[in-house]
Structure 1
Amino acid sequence: MKTLYTTLFLVIFYLVPSSLFAQESVELNGLIKDDKQTLPSATVLLYAAKDSSLVSTAITNGDGKYLIHAKTGNYYIVATSIGYNKISTKVISLNGEKTHTVPTITLAETTRSLNEVVVTSTKPVLERRADKLVFNIDATPSAAGLNALEVLKKAPGVVVDHNENISLSGKSNVLVTLDGKQTYLSQEEVVNLLKSMQSSEIESIEIMNNPGARYEANATGGVINIKTKKSKADGFNGSVALGGGYNKRPSSNNSINLNLRKKAVNVFGSYGYYTSEYEEHLEIDRITPGSANRLFFSQRNNDSSKNHSQNFKIGTDFFLSKNHTVGLLVKGNIGDWKQRGYSVTNIGSSFERADSVLKTPSNSGRDRKNFSYNINYKGVLDTAGQEITIDADYSSYDGENDAFYQNRFFLPDGSFFKDGQIYRNFAPSSINIKAIKADYVLPLSKAFKLEAGIKFASVESDNNFIFENQVGDGWLIDANRSNRFKYSEEVGAAYTTLSATLGKFSFQAGLRAENTHSIGTSVTLNEVVDRNYTNLFPSLFVSRNFNADNILNFSYSRKINRPNYQNLNPFIFYLDQYTYNQGNPNLRPEFANNFEATYLFKQKYSIALAYSHTSDIITQILLQNAALNSMYQTTLNLATDEVFSLTLNFPITFTKWWNVNNNILAYHKQLKAPNLNGYDLNSSQFTGNIYMQHNFTLSPLFSADAGIFYSTPQIDGAYNLNTFFTSDAGLRYNFPNKNGNLKLGVSDVFHSQKPRITSTLEGNEYDLKQWGTTRAVRLTFTYRFGKSTVKSERSRKTGLDDEQKRLGQ
């Protein structure tokens, strides 16, 4: 930590002053806003007054600020942004001063009907900004009809493995947020939520490898923010999307969005319904540990599942005045999942010779209800930009999980040998989350801005696992396998950030403090784990703007990842007699230090170097229990995880109708864990990912795309994932009246999503293959109706931005 503070001191007190003395041109700086908020990503054009020649360009940052360098002379500025009228300033005279602040430029929103506008350009598939990579979904026809998880798989640097764990640039434990709001769901529940969302609801995916202090500290692997579409019209309007697909079995996805906006109030809502059927196949060959009496297990699983989900949102914004807004928001997600499985396991002294065959038919299901409620306030306190936002949230989750398994043994010739264990389990759970947060912004001067915030969140969960064995014609509770687990957690957080623009440098230094008090109670085992800890999380962002075309950024942050609630539950969940899942009440939080340097050229080409060091990394792992001849999955703390990465992002335009977005990620990962299941783990792997998105403009009405993703072998925890390849393609037709479109998408064109997993841990021998009906064809119809006058809508975050991610259901 002392080294870090020394580095900060040198940066602020040495590099900054030296850069100020080196100025050779006048710096123009200013702010772009509308009547409610500052405008990021607005375009600023500087023209010479004498001949109207273009001198320089700039893009506003996340705070709506811009910086341009020019020689002495007379100029004028033209500012514009999507959905706003272009505006020109009066002539600006630069007479040798070092800096010149342009009066704030306020853009007026476009009021023409979209039916009168001829669209001549579209957003690119990928946009590289200073602190994030933006993946625009509407520019990708092959995304039509996909759910949000399937769309996420197409995002550069994002990998969703065979267990549906999400990683970013080789780092796991990624924080997934919706519209900047944390879901507070566990990894599994985040996946279920993403499966219930449709691509027609998503505007873009923002990928942030190194978020600052304002973001939740619980994000060691970075942040993936999914921005949903919002109505931007004054008056009444809406849209409807109808979709169907086929992947050996039919699927359906439908949604409707409505918006009514008047001067003093805005009412909006949406509803979506999704249903799908899916097949999955799993092959596991494993050898029990040890040198004597080794058993060989060859397991084959065939599962079929049905999923139904509904999600809705309804909200109201009350514009009390020009500068004060109060809002209410209610969201819900209801779903059920049913699965029928059949497993056949050959057991013997070799893979070629089976002494017995275990057959396990099974039925399992999961029902869930998740509701969240938000009250929010935003106030702009003065014209200088001083503002405050307050959010109060409550969220409830109720789930029911049940399963039935029948184990029967047969001889190799197929004749019945004996009955094994016949059991069933029920696992009801309930989770309640409360949070309140406040954020304050105070401009100290034209060059400095202070931000601060506080948050308090409390979580209470109650999980009951009831395990019953069949005895005769009845059922008897197995007290050794049943367990009730209760968990409570309180997190208090405070942060402050100081932003500054000094010459060609921009700085943002932040510090976040969090105190966590958690109590995990195994009621059945009468065991209590009580923890109380306080941590500091510094962050630093430095940007050097050489000119409009060359920008260099550096960032650092320290993050934490707390165990999700369900992984702390010590219960054992059996899949069959020799396969189970076990919780770990002794899990500790992991801590990561992340560094990244990014060079931007012409706002579209970039190269990024990053390094991440994580201690006590929380990892899902497959191990074998030699005493029970069983294989089980659990979650452990490994010692360290180090990742060095290089990311290249560069678009290529071949012709007016064909361009390609390219993203290349190369990283080296090393994992260490002493005495893991009796062995020392020390594995490393160099991995390369290539993502290419080809876009074709066939005519004013037709467009197409084709995406390719390829990954060399990679490691995660104690397993190795083999080479991975997938591709998608899509075709889009826009109706001439601009009110709708028709999209045809094909996912996993070559049916190549068949991951193969092997162990990297000595003495833990297994070979796992998994694949499903990932190749699918989907057709989606979207229609917009009502008034289409462009009108900006405010954006906001709720207080539930951390805890739901960890529900663990």
Structure 2
Amino acid sequence: MTCKSGVLTALVFFSLHAVHAQSPARMQNVKDTSVMSRDTSVLKQLQKPALNLKEVKIRKAKPLIEKKTDRIVFNAESSIAGTGADVLELIGKIPGLRVVNDMISIVGKGSVNVMVNDRLVQLSGDDLASYLKSIPSDQVSKVEIIANPPAKYDAQGNNGLLNIVLKKAVNDGLQGSVNFDYSLASYSTVAAGGNLNYRKDKLSLYTNFNLRKGYIAPKELTDVFYPGQTWSSLNQYRNFRTVPSGQLGLDYQLSKNTLVGASYNGGNTRFHSDENIRTTIMNSKFQKLDSTLVSDANAKIRSGFNAVNLFLKRVIDTSGKQVLINADWFKYHDDKERFFNNNTYLNDGSLADDSFAQYLSASQQHIDLYTLKADADLPYRFFRLSFGTKFSFIRNNSDVSFYKRLMEEYVSNQDQANVFDYTENTQALYINVNKTVKKWALQLGLRAEYTQTKGLSSDEDQTDRNWYLQLFPTAFLTYRLNELNTFALSYDRRINRPMYKKLNPFRWYSNQYAYAEGNPFLKPSYSNNLELSHTYAAVLTSSVSFGYTNSGYSDVNFTDGQSNIQVLKPVNFVTGYNYQFSNSISLNPVAWLQSNSQLNLFYNLSNSSLTETSASLKGIGAYFSTSNQFYFNQDKMLSGEIGFWYQSGGIDGLQKLESQYNLDVGLRKLVLNKQLQFAAGLTDVLKSNKYRYTSLVNQIEQSYTNYYDSRKLRISIRYNFGNDRAKATARKPGNDEEIRRNN
């Protein structure tokens, strides 16, 4: 056999074997030939397969909850009960998070700061609530709970950060959606909106507009046990809110490695409330009615914000090195007015002489915020390095006034008028290093923030200045024992600067005996947090954590047993210790059921430096939640959800909390190849989500029972149109910290 014959023989054998291995049926298309001892010619004819494969789309639904190294991810797109809600309602359905009177907190720990697309929102109270309520949950991709944020994030927020990631799927061609929602609690609320995305060559455009309008009717019951009297106040009010908001943005690919963009966000809130506050005063000794205070009030708030972002992203090389620069401007304003009157009735029902009075309290506030932020991410062969800087400049100006009506006009009370001017400038630097060695991963970071504040109050006729440089270290250590078991240890130090609302000395009167005001000399608090966790097969996660907070601040209702005056005011007075053990488990036992459950046990100890309060308070608490999604057909076009949580009694600062629980149900139907969605849900089915707590100030016990009209029926319709082959574009604008503390 010649060399040529041997080679050809081998090629024939290899070709026949390969075809046979790919598909036995194809052997029928290969003509049989003989292998000769001399030069051999081979005739091989392969026929074109009759089957033409078209594009195949594989869509795998994300689990509702994912546990990652430094955060817990709630995939909002997979939530049924949250469909058709606003973002604030959606957050309240996330296991481990609570929303009480529009305030967001982590169970067993306390309040948490909020980011949207990695930008810390500097709003608080009603303003933060209005902003989050203006964003439909259908626009949210996921919500990240970052308990111990790395150094690249601002150090603001003692209990970590909550990052709301909005959808921004800018596709080839046109894509968009429209939605309509109707909900009914004590009163109805309607919402409508839509978004539109367009991508062509190097240009991407995106926009959305939303409008929400409706009422809720909360109730607040307060009992104050004075030595000789018991004051019981019932505040029944109806809040009406109209919230239009919108966004417009563009990205442009200047070159292969350079992306630039700009965006605008804006919104306005028109809020008014009608209140009826009835306070009965009982004689403690004889248990007889002494008198009754009746106050009718209405409040008007007109607020709005404008936010502009400019960014540049430059990729340095193919290894992933890049630089991101953000410039942001944020402007916020509000104008508040509250009219109220007071009547005092004697125990026989007659009107007390000269008891009728009418008042007006008013406030205007303007906030301007400028930030410049630069971040560099540099991956190398043996480690990953990131560093950056940020400059922020904030000015907050507020003008408060108080009037009493005499005859036919309101006369100013100069003793209760004030102009407050506050500025805060911060310069920050950070560096972060990541290193992986076999089964070990280490991340070390250090952030330095130098802050200068100046508060000028015309009422106090003095200026309060502060300069402080603080260092905030972070550390993460991960050990992957095997494919099933991963251990992680993390530490960080953080700061909690007061929200602007807490600094504003504006007084908000409930009646002539009770009002709330800010504290312009409130200082930031600091915390140290340590957590050890274990994850098994991405199914079971267990963790133990410890948190220490010093110079903590909270609202204290200062009560005077002689004058019966009640003043609610924030002050620095708490040193807190938090210990927590947490278990969460995600199960998919059958194809039609996905279940996520969580159990937290926590112990809190709070020490007070105020002589008016208890010296210390401690307590053990527990929290359990379960969220279960059911699929009623194989293609998951019809699905349902049942969510339940229970929280035992415990403590929060120097308040004793009572137990409460909540049950939600939801149903969703998809049609037209999942382009059209119908959803219905009922929240707080048992009307059991009532916030109850007690506190002790000046040896006077205070008891609170508040219900915020949380039982609600919601119906939602959403239609998606356009190209559905998304090519997501992600970027992170830069005024991360400052928008959160606004108001």
Would you call these one fold, judging by a TM-score over 0.5?
A: yes
2:279 equivalent to 1:345: yes
Offset of residue 789 of structure 1:
2.1
List per-residue Cα deviations over 1:420-477 (Å, max 9, x = no partner).
442102211110000000001122x322011100000010011011111111222110
CA contact (8 A) 1:186 1:805 kept: yes
Aligned equivalent of 1:67? none
Aligned equivalent of 2:162? 224
Rate the CA distance shift 1:627–1:798 in 2: closer, same or farther, 3 A: farther
Distance in 2 separating the partners of 1:496 and 1:271:
38
CA contact (8 A) 1:392 1:436 kept: yes
| Matches for 1:583-662 after TM superposition, within 5 Å | 583-662=518-597
List per-residue Cα deviations over 1:298-318 (Å, max 9, x = no partner).
111110111110111110001
- Report SS of the residue matched to 1:149: helix
The amino acid of 1:496's aligned partner reads I
List per-residue Cα deviations over 1:289-330 (Å, max 9, x = no partner).
xx5xx3321111110111110111110001011211001010
Distance in 1 separating the partners of 2:477 and 2:136:
37
2:398 equivalent to 1:463: yes
| Matches for 1:173-322 after TM superposition, within 5 Å | 173-288=111-226, 294-322=228-256
2:703 equivalent to 1:770: no
- Report SS of the residue matched to 2:352: strand
Distance in 2 separating the partners of 1:411 and 1:219:
49
Match of 2:385 among 434, 442, 450: 450
List per-residue Cα deviations over 1:310-361 (Å, max 9, x = no partner).
1111100010112110010100121111100001111242293122111100
Rate the CA distance shift 1:753–1:173 in 2: closer, same or farther, 3 A: closer
The amino acid of 2:668's aligned partner reads R
The amino acid of 1:438's aligned partner reads A
RMSD (Å), alpha carbons: 1.7
- Report SS of the residue matched to 1:732: strand
Match of 2:722 among 766, 781, 786: 786
- Report SS of the residue matched to 1:382: coil
Distance in 2 separating the partners of 1:400 and 1:806:
17
| Matches for 1:345-744 after TM superposition, within 5 Å | 345-350=279-284, 352-418=287-353, 419-443=355-379, 445-677=380-612, 679-699=613-633, 700=635, 701-744=637-680
CA contact (8 A) 2:574 2:653 kept: no
Offset of residue 526 of structure 1:
1.0
- Report SS of the residue matched to 1:151: helix
Offset of residue 188 of structure 1:
4.0
- Report SS of the residue matched to 2:680: strand
List per-residue Cα deviations over 1:374-396 (Å, max 9, x = no partner).
10000110112211000001010
Distance in 1 separating the partners of 2:126 and 2:652:
17
The amino acid of 1:154's aligned partner reads K
Offset of residue 189 of structure 1:
2.3
Offset of residue 182 of structure 1:
1.2
Offset of residue 704 of structure 1:
0.4
Unaligned runs of at least 5 residues, structure 1 = 1-110
- Report SS of the residue matched to 2:168: coil
Rate the CA distance shift 1:588–1:248 in 2: closer, same or farther, 3 A: closer
Distance in 1 separating the partners of 2:97 and 2:76:
15
Offset of residue 573 of structure 1:
2.4
The amino acid of 1:596's aligned partner reads E
Aligned equivalent of 1:97? none
The amino acid of 1:117's aligned partner reads K
CA contact (8 A) 1:409 1:420 kept: yes
- Structure 1 stretches of 4+ with a deviation exceeding 3 A read 116-119
The amino acid of 2:57's aligned partner reads V
Offset of residue 287 of structure 1:
1.8
The amino acid of 1:158's aligned partner reads L
- Report SS of the residue matched to 1:452: strand
The amino acid of 1:489's aligned partner reads E
2:86 equivalent to 1:151: no
Distance in 2 separating the partners of 1:702 and 1:714:
40
Offset of residue 365 of structure 1:
1.4
Distance in 2 separating the partners of 1:357 and 1:480:
28
List per-residue Cα deviations over 1:557-604 (Å, max 9, x = no partner).
100011122312334321211211022223111110011111111123
- Report SS of the residue matched to 1:142: coil
- Report SS of the residue matched to 2:532: strand
Q: Which segment drifts farther, 365-374 or 598-607?
A: 598-607
CA contact (8 A) 2:361 2:507 kept: no
Rate the CA distance shift 1:724–1:112 in 2: closer, same or farther, 3 A: farther
Rate the CA distance shift 1:762–1:624 in 2: closer, same or farther, 3 A: closer
List per-residue Cα deviations over 1:646-700 (Å, max 9, x = no partner).
11110233432123111111111111013342x4431011111111001101012
Distance in 1 separating the partners of 2:492 and 2:174:
44
Offset of residue 187 of structure 1:
4.3
Distance in 2 separating the partners of 1:112 and 1:546:
43
Name the TM-score, length of structure 2 as normaliser: 0.90
Distance in 2 separating the partners of 1:566 and 1:705:
38
List per-residue Cα deviations over 1:6-52 (Å, max 9, x = no partner).
xxxxxxxxxxxxxxxxxxxxxxxxxxxxxxxxxxxxxxxxxxxxxxx
CA contact (8 A) 1:241 1:782 kept: yes
Distance in 2 separating the partners of 1:245 and 1:378:
42
Aligned equivalent of 2:57? 117
CA contact (8 A) 1:178 1:226 kept: yes
Match of 1:142 among 74, 77, 81: 81
Distance in 1 separating the partners of 2:64 and 2:623:
18
Offset of residue 623 of structure 1:
2.8
- Report SS of the residue matched to 2:609: strand
The amino acid of 1:123's aligned partner reads K
Aligned residues: 687
- Report SS of the residue matched to 2:699: coil
- Report SS of the residue matched to 1:480: helix
Offset of residue 771 of structure 1:
1.1
Offset of residue 232 of structure 1:
4.1
List per-residue Cα deviations over 1:50-99 (Å, max 9, x = no partner).
xxxxxxxxxxxxxxxxxxxxxxxxxxxxxxxxxxxxxxxxxxxxxxxxxx
- Report SS of the residue matched to 2:522: coil
Distance in 1 separating the partners of 2:531 and 2:170:
35
CA contact (8 A) 2:560 2:698 kept: no
Q: Which segment drifts farther, 694-703 or 668-677?
A: 668-677
List per-residue Cα deviations over 1:461-520 (Å, max 9, x = no partner).
110111111112221100111111110000000000111111211111000000010001
CA contact (8 A) 1:653 1:659 kept: yes
Unaligned runs of at least 5 residues, structure 2 = 1-52
The amino acid of 1:733's aligned partner reads K
Q: Which segment drifts farther, 244-253 or 608-617?
A: 244-253
Offset of residue 112 of structure 1:
8.7
The amino acid of 1:693's aligned partner reads S
CA contact (8 A) 1:233 1:792 kept: yes
Distance in 2 separating the partners of 1:770 and 1:635:
20
Distance in 2 separating the partners of 1:608 and 1:112:
47
Offset of residue 196 of structure 1:
2.1
Q: Which segment drifts farther, 455-464 or 498-507?
A: 498-507
Match of 1:160 among 78, 99, 118: 99
2:697 equivalent to 1:758: no
- Report SS of the residue matched to 2:610: strand
- Report SS of the residue matched to 2:240: strand
CA contact (8 A) 1:154 1:709 kept: no
Larger radius of gyration: 2
